[in-house]
A and B are shown apart, each in its own frame.
Chain A
Amino acid sequence: MVAQKQTGTGRAPRQHSLIWLQGLVCGALVTLATPTALLLGVLLGPALLAITLDREPGRPRARSIALCSMAAAVDPLRTLWTAGHSMATATGLLTPTTIATAWIAAAAGWLLADATPMAVRIALEALSVARTAQLRTERARLVEAWGLEPPPDDQ
C-alpha cells in the first residue's frame, strides 16, 4: 500500500506536467503553425479520438492507429511544407482522397491492433496443442514400458 501510494503520488504530477506540456505544444503549434495544425488535426483526427477513448494501459489501439495515420499524413505534410506552408495550401490539400487515405490508414491501424493478438493467440494455442500431443505420446510410452498408471482422462 505504501509503495502504491508512493507510486501514485509520484506519477500524478508527472501526468499533469505531460498534459500541460502537450497542451503547450499543441497551443504553440496552432499559434505558430496554423496550417500544419489544421492539416494534422484533420488527418490525425481518428488517432486523437482513439487516444481519448482508449483506456487500456499503454493505449495499444491508439498507438497503432496513430502510427498508421501518421504514415498516411507524411506525404500531405511534406507537400504543405514545400508549397509555402499557407492556410490556402492546407485547405487545398484537405481533399476527400487525402482525408479518406488518412482515415483508412487509421482504420487499418485499428484492425491491426485488434487482429494481431487474435492471430498470435491462435498460434500459441496451436503450439500448446502440439506440445500436449507430444507429451501424451511420451507419457503413453513410459506407461507402456514401465507399467505405470494410465494417463488421467481430464488431460
Chain B
Amino acid sequence: MANPDAPRTGGPLVAKQYAVDVNRKLPPVGGLPAFGVIDQIGGRSDLMAVQLHRCMPARPRVFQTLATPIEGLLTPVAHGPAGNACYAICLAPPGPSVQSRSRPWSETELLNCVLRPAARVLERLHELGTTHRGIRPDNVFQSAPGQPVVLGTSWTMPPAMAQPAAFEPPYVAMCLPAGRGDGSIADDVYALGVLLVRLALAGLPLEQLDDAAIIRRKLELGTFAALAGDHRLPPIVGDLVRGMLAEDPEHRPTPTLLLDPASARGRRVAARPPRRAQRPMTLTNDEIWDARSLAYALATDPDQAVNAVRCNAVEYWARRGLGDAQLTARIEDLVRHRDLDAPSGDRHGGAEMAAHLIAALDPLAPLCWRGMALWPDGIGPALAAAQGSDDASRLEEIITGEVAAGWAAQRAGRCDAAAFRVEARRQRSWLQQRGQGGLPRLAYLMNPLLPCASPLLEGHWVTSPADLLLALEVAAGRVDQRQVEPVDAHVGAFISARLERRMDKQLSGQTNGAGGAVALTHLRILAQLQSRLRTGPLSALAGWLAVRAGPVLATVRKRERRQAMEERLQAATATGHLPSMLQVLEDPAARSEDAQEAQQAALALESIDAELARIASGATTRAAMAARIGQEVAAGFGLAALAAVLAVAAFG
C-alpha cells in the first residue's frame, strides 16, 4: 500500500531508517491510525507505520517473538518513538479487509482462503508460545478474491483490546478491554470460528445487540447457537465452527487440526450443555436459569453478588432450583470457610466471597471483583489503561488482596495455582514497596513499553530513562521552574521501574523531608541517571535544578561559604553536568565545617547576648561598686594627705 514513488520526506524517523509520512494517511489498522512509510535505507515499499496509543501499551514479547516474519501475518519490522508519537513499522496489508466484501463467501473460499492460511499462522504462533488475539473482519486482509487472507496486527495494543464482544469467548468479552490477557491459542481459534460464520453469512445475527446482551445470549445458548441461530452454514464449515466455538477452550480444535478440515470435522467433543434449573433465580428483574448466567449476573452486579452471598440465596437456589449436588457442596464449603475465616469488619470480605462464588459457579469465568472482570495476565495492561480512573482502585485492591491467587485456587484444575500465587505475591510486593510510586510504578514495571505519563513530558513519548532526561531537558524551557518539580510522581515511578540497578534509597526520599532535601534528592536521582547513561550536557535541566536548589543552598549557614558555593554551582550549571552540581551541593567536608563553625558562632552569640543582658541589668551593681570604690579612694586620698603631712612634720 505504500507508494514507492513518494518523495522522501523529513517526517519523523523510526529506528533511524523509516521516515513516517504523516501526510499520507492510510486506513486505520486495528483501530489505530496508520501512515505511509519511506524506508530510507532499504527502499522497501511494502511497509506502513501504525501510531501507538499512549495508554494502550504494545505487547513487547510479541514484538520480540515476531522478529522473524511469518507468512500470512503482518509482522513488525521496527518500532520506536519519533517526534511526539511512537510508531510501529510493519508490513502493509496486501489489500482491503475482508469486511469490505458484502456477499457471502463460498465454502471452498472459506476453507482455502481463510481457514487454512489462518490456521497455519496460528500454528506458528502457538509454536512460538504466543497468541494473535486480533482476528476480526477489519483486521484480516486479502489481496484479491481467491487469495489467502493475511492476519493483521495484533501487537500494537493489549491483547484482544479492540476485539468486538461477538469475536471473543463470553468469558473474555466480559473483561475490561485492556484486561483480557494474552489468553491461549484456543481463543484465536474461537475468533477464527466467529470470522468464518461472519464471512459465510455475510454478517452476524448478533451484530445489532450490545455487548452485555451478546455475552448473555452466548452464555445461555452457547456461542454456536447464539451466532448461527437458524441460519444454514456450509456443512463442513458448520461442523468445524461448532467445535471452534466451544465454550471450554479445551474442547476447541488446535490450529494443527484445523489444517486438515476433514479430520477436524470428524472430531466430536463431549461438551455437556449447561444444566437448566427447574425454577429461575431472580436478580434485578432478570430470571436466571443456569449457573454460568448466574455467575455473569453476579459478576456484573457487585451489590447483588454481595447480597446473594450474605443471605445464602445462591446456595439455596443451587440446591432447590438447580438440583446440582456437586455445585451445592462447593458453595457450602465456601460459605463455611467465609464464616470461619472472614474477620468481622473486613470491607472486602463480601467482594472476595463473591469472587470465589463466581469461580465456583462457573470455573471458566475470569477473575471478577466488584463489578470488574479481567484475566490475571491482563492486570498489567489494565493498570496502564486505567490510570486515574475508578478501575485503578479496584485493580489495586485485587493486587493488594492477592485476589488472583485465591481465584486460581478455586479453579486449580484449570490453571497452575502455585504460579498465580507467586505472581500475585510479586505484584503485591512491588506495589507495597514504600515510597516508590505505588500503582504507577507497578504499571510501568508490568508494561515495559508504556511511556511515562508525567504531564511534564507532554508531547514526548518516553519509554527509556535516556529519553526521559532528554524530554526533561526540553520541558525545562517550557515549565515554570520555580513552581514545578522536575521529578514528579510519574517520573519517579518511571525511573524506579525502568532502572536495572535500582535507586530505591534515593527514590524513597523524594517525597519526604523539607524542600531542600527533596530538591537535593531530585538532583541526586537525575545526576545518577546522567552518570549511568552517559548522556551529554543538559544545560536547561541543570538550570531548572539550580533554580530549585535555593533551599539546599540555604542550609549552608555561613554567608561567605554560601556565596562561594552559589558561584561554584553556577559554574557547574553552565556545564550542564548534573553530577558536578551534586558534588557542589553535597560537599560533605564543607558542610561538616559549616555545621561546626555554625555551632561555635551560635555559642559565641549566646555568650554575647548573655553579657549584653548582664550589662543592661547591672546598673545597680555598678552603682554599688562605684560607691564602694569611691569611698575607698576618698579614704585613700585622706590617708595620703595625712601621711604626707606627718612626713613633712617629721623630716621637714
A residues adjacent to B (C-beta < 8 A)? 58, 60, 63-68, 70-72, 74-75, 78, 105, 109, 112-113, 115-121, 123-125, 128, 131-132, 135-136, 138-139, 142-148, 154-155
Contact = CB atoms under 8 A, between A and B. Distances in A.
Interface stretch (B101-109, B577-585, B626-634): B626-634
Contacts of A121: 622-623, 626-627, 630
B533 interface: no
B605 A74 contact: no
Interface string B431-467: 0000000000000000000000000000000000000
Given A144-B559, A145-B558, A148-B605, A70 B642 contact: yes
A155 B616 contact: yes
B616 A67 contact: no
B615 interface: yes
A146 B601 CA distance: 8
Nearest to A136: B612
Contacts of B560: 145
Interface residues of B, number: 38
Given A67-B635, A68-B638, A121-B622, 17 more contacts: A60-B631, A67-B642, A78-B649, A109-B634, A112-B634, A113-B630, A117-B628, A120-B633, A121-B626, A124-B626, A142-B601, A142-B605, A145-B558, A146-B558, A146-B598, A148-B602, A155-B616
Interface in B536-571: 557-560
Contacts of A136: 612
Interface string B575-615: 00000000000000000000000100110110011011101
A8 B638 CA distance: 31
A68 B641 CA distance: 7
Which of A60, A116, A139 lies at the interface centre, i.e. has the most chain B CB atoms within 10 A of its CB? A116
A148 B600 CA distance: 13
A117 B631 contact: yes
A135 B633 contact: no
Contacts, number: 126
Nearest to A144: B559
Nearest to A148: B605
Contacts of A67: 635, 638-639, 641-642
B612 to A, nearest CB: 5
Contact of B608 (A58, A75, A139, A154): A139
Contact of B629 (A120, A128, A143, A144): A120
Contacts of A72: 645
Contacts of A58: 631
B608 A145 contact: no
B638 A135 contact: no
Nearest to B559: A145
Which of B559, B598, B637 lies at the interface centre, i.e. has the most chain A CB atoms within 10 A of its CB? B637
A67 B601 CA distance: 53
A26 B348 CA distance: 114
Contact of A143 (B605, B611, B635): B605
Which of A117, A118, A139 lies at the interface centre, i.e. has the most chain B CB atoms within 10 A of its CB? A117
Nearest to A68: B638
B615 to A, nearest CB: 5
Contacts of A119: 630
A78 to B, nearest CB: 5
A113 B605 contact: no
B646 interface: yes
A1 B613 CA distance: 34
B618 interface: yes
A119 to B, nearest CB: 7
A132 B649 contact: no
Contacts of B625: 120, 124
Contacts of A74: 642, 645-646, 649
Nearest to A58: B631
A65 B559 CA distance: 62
A128 B557 contact: no
B644 interface: yes
A72 B649 CA distance: 11
9 contacts: A60-B631, A65-B638, A68-B638, A71-B645, A120-B630, A121-B627, A139-B612, A142-B604, A146-B605
A125 B605 CA distance: 23
A155 B611 CA distance: 11
Contacts of B631: 58, 60, 63-64, 113, 116-117
Contacts of B644: 71
Given A116-B631, A146-B558, A139 B646 contact: no
Contacts of B637: 64, 112, 116
